Amino acid sequence: MGTPKQLLPAGDTLLLDRVLAQALHSNLDLVVLVLGFRADEIRTRIRSGKHQSNLKIVENTDHPLGISSSIMTGLSHVENNYDHVMILLGDMPYITSGIINRLLSGYLDSGLPLGALKVRGKRSHPVIIGRPFFPALHRLTGDQGARDLFINHPKQVCLVEPGGDYNDADIDTYEDYLKFKKTPE
């Protein structure tokens, strides 16, 4: 895309700032922002939450090894003090603090160790993983995320409807970005 997608303009802010602001205004106790490729540049450009005590910005120096390394970097900063971790992608421009809170509440009320949004009948991001599955996260490699946990343990999954007409699209290609730019706010 010519620039890290986190730094693409999204309304009057940047894509990552848009997502980060929603996470910081949610009921999450701590937001760990994991930066990889061009981390220094991204760190200097983001504006959301720079001085908020519930934000910790960390760098994944192993980012060329794939998404599993980002999951491990984030997990290493929370697993000793928290029993649950939410994995929230930084390229989901339509996420809101209300949806994050709805997922968090539904998940905690369920007592199940895995949680995710259910959008148009399918599991979607963000996801929540409880302590019983932290060892499985430690075994992830390469571009492997937590998808298999949800597939292999369907009875352990709480699916939460986001309510309303939530668009769970993320920005993976320039075409995705152009589509987002054409969407009315």
Query: Domains along the chain?
Result: 5-179 (3.90.550.10)
- Rounded to whole angstroms, the Cα distance separating 161 from 115 reads 11
pLDDT in tens, 19-48: 999 999 999 999 999 999 999 999 999 988
Distance CA 176, CA 15 (A): 13
Residue 164's region, left for phi above 0, alpha for psi from -120 to 50, else beta, is left
Q: Which residues of the chain have pLDDT under 70?
A: 1, 185
